[in-house]
Structures are given as structure tokens and as C-alpha cells.
Chains A and B, each alone.
Chain A
Amino acid sequence: MAAQAINTASTAAFDRAADWDALAVRARAVRRTKAVVLYAFLIAVSLPIILPYFWLVTIAFSARAGVAETAVLWRSMAVIMPVVVAFWLTVALAQSRRQSWIGIAAVAAIGVFAFALLVGPDLHLGNFIFLWEPDFASVVRSRIGEVKGAVQFPNVWHAFANSILIAGAQTAIVVTVASLAAYYLSRFQFPGRSSMLRSLLVLHAFPVLTLIVPMFLMLYWIGLLDTLFGVILVLVAFELPFAIFIMKGFFDAVPWDIEMSALTDGASRRQAFVSVVLPQVRNGILAIAVFTFIRGWEEYIFVFTFLIRNSNWTMSLYMYWVRDDVMGVDYGVVSAVGVFYLVPSLILYMAAQRYLMQMSIGGVKG
């Protein structure tokens, strides 16, 4: 009886062991299917996002006679898509680091060669004419025989400098004020502190367009209408609440101990803030600096409303007027201006990505 029982038990164990292989096979199959479906979905979703950017770049560098062609786009896609897939496969299939480096180098070489062959002959810098020809609008129009009515464009570098000035000054003011205000909110107890914290968020909830008429009138009365300084002040006012809120989270994370320690080490409150607390929130400062700069760089509504003279144009206004004046005549130039406008913020984002990733907003503590 006992022997029989043991027998059955071992058979059962054997059956289960046999099942495990089947289970493993099935699990592997499910995992692979899931991965394939997921990648397919992600590629399908990201294509419509990537494609326009890519098209913008190809038109800017390849369009002749002002027409927005797709031929170059498809040809360059035909090179780049297989190259991306090949990269992916090489990394996935490589047995060692050496192999994967060789594979990547080979794919890159083939890719560059194919690109030079298929797309290379079509590339040129003619659409960036605005960089060296301030009166490019007349030139472009004359190509199709229309000579009159071109907008008087300022030098693009002038608009570029205006944008840098607005974004830079706004960033400097926001970072300084937000750090000080957030430190005070984080460390000091004063009447109205919690309602102030709450109102910070409410302030940010205002759609800026609703305030544009009163802002316009106020700037007019103060005499700052059509000045860069006026726009900078308005932008600072709109950016500050959010920046203060984020900086408060960073200051909250700095332990009291090191601040007290600095005081007992002989520092004054201000010295402790500068030499001990500020270095701890460096990442927060970088994050709000980058965000504020990019906000200022892309600003359109306020500069469009408050700036009138073309010597005050920023890049966004320049872009707007190029589109208004040359669109329909030369898509290539419009795209080229777009690429020129895009590059600085792209570089900034890529350089600061590491710090932006660390930005998190703490909960409101009353």
C-alpha cells in the first residue's frame, strides 16, 4: 500500500517536470509576441511625431524652387529606417562588445555611403539665404517675378540676439527670485504661508490669454510697451509661481541638520544659504533655468502683442513674418528658418536632459 502511494507520488512529480518544459516554451512565446506587438505599437505611434520634424529638416536642406517635395523625404527615410533596424539587430545579436562595435561601425559606414549616394546630391544650403541676406524676402519673391510688397525684415541675427536677451534675462531673474522665495517658503513660518503656497498653483492655472488686454494697458501706462524689458517682466511674472513651487520641493529635501551645522561652524544665515544649502539644490536651479530659458525662447503670444517695431523682433516673430510673407512662395526658406529656430532649444534640452529628469514636484506641505 505504502509502496504504491510512493509510486503515484513520483509519477505525479515526473508529470509536473514534463509540464515545466512546455510551460517555459509557452512563456517564451508569449513574451516574444508581447515584445513584437509592443514595439510595433510604439513605432506606429511615434512615426507621426517624428516624421514632421524629419520632413522639416529635409525640406530645409533640399528644397529647390520653393516646393515642398516628398521625394527626398522618402529616399532619406528609405536609408535611415533600415539603418536604425540594422543598428538594433546588431546590438541585439552581437555576442561580445567587440562584435557589436564592429557591427555598428559597418552599419554606420554603409548608411553614410547610401545616404551620400541617394540623398547627397539633393542637399544644399541655399534655403538658409536669410542668414547672410537681410533682404532675402525680395530675392525670394523676385525668383517668381514678384518684386513689390516684401516685408522689411531685420537682420536675423538681430532677432536671434533679442530672443537670447529675453530668454536669458528672464532666466536670470526667475532663478534668482525663485530660489530666494522658495527658500523662505521652505524654511520660515509666517502668517499666510500655506495660503500663499496654494495661490502659487492657482496663479499658474490662469490662461495667459485672458490677461493680455490688462497687461497691454498696464505696459502702455508704465511706458514699457514695445520694449524688451516690458516683455521680460511679464514673462517673469508668469513663470515665477511654477519655478518657486518646484524650487520649494528641492529646498524641502535639504536636511535642516547641515544648515544648523553650518551655523554652529560660524556661518551667518546668509553664508550658510550660499555655501551649504544652494549647492544641494543645484540640480533644481539647472532644471528651472533650462525650462525658463526654453519658455522665453519659444515665447510668441506676448512678444506678438507687446512688441511692435521690427528692431524688437524675436525669433518667433521673425518666424511668423517669414511664414506670412514667403509661405506659398518658398517653403524651403520657411523650413530653414524653422530649423534655425529649433536648433538652440534642441541643444539646450539635450545638454540638460540629465537634470530635467531629476525634477520632481513635491507635495504641498502647509
Chain B
Amino acid sequence: MAKIEFRNVVKRFGAVEVIPDLNLVIEDGEFVALLGPSGCGKSTSLFMLAGIYVPSGGELLFDGHVVNEVETRDRNVGVVFQSYALYPHMSVRDNILFPLRFKKTPRDEALARVTAAADLVRVAELLDRRPSELSGGQQQRVALARALVKEPQLLLLDEPLSNLDASLRLSMRTEIKSLHAQLGVTTVLVTHDQIEATTMADRIICMRAGRIEQVGTPDDLYLRPSSLFVAGFIGSPPINLVAGEAEDGMVTVNGARFPVEGASGSLTVGLRPEHLRIGDTGFAGRIAQIEPMGREILYVVETGMGAVRVLEQGSSAGHSTGEQVKIGFLSENSLVFETERQKLIAGAHVREPV
């Protein structure tokens, strides 16, 4: 178990600065997610934690000790790679045994630990197979067992679910989370999938272009995204972002006018599809498309402010394509951003249109 700290960490590849200045503390036993689009520096950060990349500047600390120069093999870090990276020429048993080979663990103890790790992720009956004879989900479990068998002080998961099919992803999510609860090992998950991050992690570090955009619990990021980027990245279907101009307590959006409190100037208003409802009051629009999603129905409504997505509960559509409707929302759920700085204006809300 370890407390991890990034202090002004810089990473350059040649002339390209991938991470300009990273400051972050991960508490002992925490499960955090590094979330961001590809190329945002999240994998680079992960590889620095693993010791595969050496930081170009700043300090990386494990439990208060600078580990910048410490070799990968001395860090006691377990990694699950996106491709699982199982050794194709070894049986599952030898794969899980591999990390213990370098720790000079006595043979009997090593085999007992392999069995224990295999039991933990339920691959005990697969020990004699080759990785090529396993399904994706089984390979994933073996990779987890291999990462856990050496009792790492830090577990790194690099897009662990992206090669699994949807239903398997759901169950692995639950399993990884319960494994973490059981073992209490500090865990860092790298993902570009916001659902993976919000469902599994205690805290999410949302990254963009090598910088941390926001750190917080899944609720924080969903309810109070600090920037337009985070607001757009978290939530599915994605948030509706409409541009407007605020003046004298009113915001004008493409002809429609809403009362606004606490803000002025050029604004971007964020309204989540699930906070909008089709009703008697609100701004007018015409339903352009209906997308049933099983438990919910997504309406794409053409309004004066452009296409707006509305998510309604229920499995049968109460409206039909082409229908003229009015869309209302709850003002406490509206998010108001400064367009220029793309930052959330704390405490500002737009009111329902009159």
C-alpha cells in the first residue's frame, strides 16, 4: 500500500511536452481513475508510475520517498495492460508465477500464492492452459492475478475493460471494484470511458492535454463540472451546450430568453438531457428524431437554439416525430459557464424560460 504523490512532474518526448506540470496526491488505498481522451497524458502518467518512463522533471513520491530513479522491478507495482500482455509461450500457471520468480520466493510458497491469486479471480481451473486458449474475459482475470500475486503496493489498470464485450465489461467492473474493497491496494485506473471511471473509482482525475482539468468524486464531476470540457466529457448521452449572451439578468440564446442569476457577458449554458423534460411550459421545439434506449427514450428536438437532446424515463414514446413540444428544466440543475475561459460560474443558474 502506498500514498502516491506527483510534484511538478514534467514529461517530454524529445521536443514534445506531453505533461507540462502535474501535481496530484493519491491517498493510500484509494481507487482513482485517470480519465481523458486519447493523447491527454493519462497513459504517460501511468507508465511513469510503473517506472517505464522516467519523469523529465519534478518529483514522483511513493510514501514520501522520491522514486524518480527507482527501477521498474524495484517498485513492486502490478500492471494490467490493455492487451493483457500475457506471455504466450507460458501456461497460465507460469504466467502468474512469473513475478515471483524474481523475488526468490520458495517454490512451495510461490505455488500456493499462485493458487490463491487464481482463486481470487476465479481462474483456478485454467492454470494448465495457454493464454491463446482463453477467452478475453479469462485473459483479463489471469492478467489481474499476475498483477496481484506479488502483493503490489500499487495496482495500475490501463484500459482494462476496453477489449471486452459489453456484458462482460459490466461484470468485470463489479469484480474489480470488489477486489479493491477486499485487498485495499492503492489502484489507478486509466480509461477514456467515463462510465468505467464513474462506476469504479472513488475519485476521478479528468485530464486534458497533459493538464489536470478537474479532480473530484464522480458526483462532483457530474454535478459541478469545473469546465466545459469536463461537462462535455462526463455524462451519456452528452450534455446540451448552448451559447448565449447575458445582460440585465436575462440570457438570450438564439432568440429565446431565460432569466439568469449571478452571471453576465458571453455564456455557455449546459443542460443535461436527463434534466430536461417535455411539458407544457418552456421553450418550443419540434421532435426531429426518437431513439428508444430500453429504459429511457432519447428525443432529439429541433429548437431555436439548435438540436437539443432530451432523455425521458419510460419505455414507450409519449410523443411522435414531428410533434411540436415545449421543453422545461429545473433551474438548480442548469450549469452556466463563462464562454471565454470555459469555466463554471459557481452558483449561477438560468431560470426556466417565461
Chain A residues at the B interface, C-beta cutoff of 8 Å: 255, 257-258, 260-268, 271, 275-276, 279-280, 282
Contacts and interface: CB of A to CB of B under 8 A. Distances in A.
9 contacts: A257-B81, A257-B83, A263-B52, A264-B75, A265-B73, A265-B146, A275-B98, A276-B87, A279-B89
Contacts of A279: 87, 89
Interface string B73-114: 101111101110111110000000011011100000000000
A264 B98 contact: no
Given A257-B85, A279-B89, A265 B50 contact: no
Nearest to B99: A265
A261 B101 CA distance: 14
A347 to B, nearest CB: 27
Contacts of A258: 85-88
Given A255-B83, A257-B85, A262 B78 contact: no
With most chain B CB atoms within 10 A of its CB, the pick from A257, A261, A265, A279 is: A265
Contact of A264 (B50, B83, B88): B50
A271 B78 CA distance: 18
B150 interface: yes
B150 A266 contact: yes
A279 B88 CA distance: 9
A264 B86 contact: no
Nearest to A257: B85
B81 A261 contact: yes
Interface of B: 47, 50-52, 71-73, 75-79, 81-83, 85-89, 98-99, 101-103, 146, 150
Contact of A265 (B47, B71, B98): B98
A260 B52 contact: yes
Provide the main secondary structure of the chain A interface: helix
Nearest to A282: B89
Contact of B50 (A260, A267, A275): A260
A263 B72 contact: yes
A294 B86 CA distance: 35
A280 B79 CA distance: 21
A259 to B, nearest CB: 8
Contact of B51 (A264, A267, A268): A264
B75 to A, nearest CB: 8
A284 B4 CA distance: 42
Nearest to A266: B102
Given A263-B73, A267-B102, A271-B102, 5 more contacts: A257-B82, A260-B47, A264-B78, A265-B98, A268-B73
B89 A280 contact: yes
A267 B103 CA distance: 9
B103 A266 contact: yes
Nearest to A279: B89
A255 B85 contact: yes
Contacts of B52: 260, 263-264
With most chain A CB atoms within 10 A of its CB, the pick from B77, B85, B146 is: B85
Nearest to B81: A257
A260 B88 contact: no
B99 A266 contact: yes
A276 B131 CA distance: 14
A266 B76 CA distance: 7
Contacts of A255: 83, 85
Given A260-B50, A261-B79, A262-B98, A267 B73 contact: yes
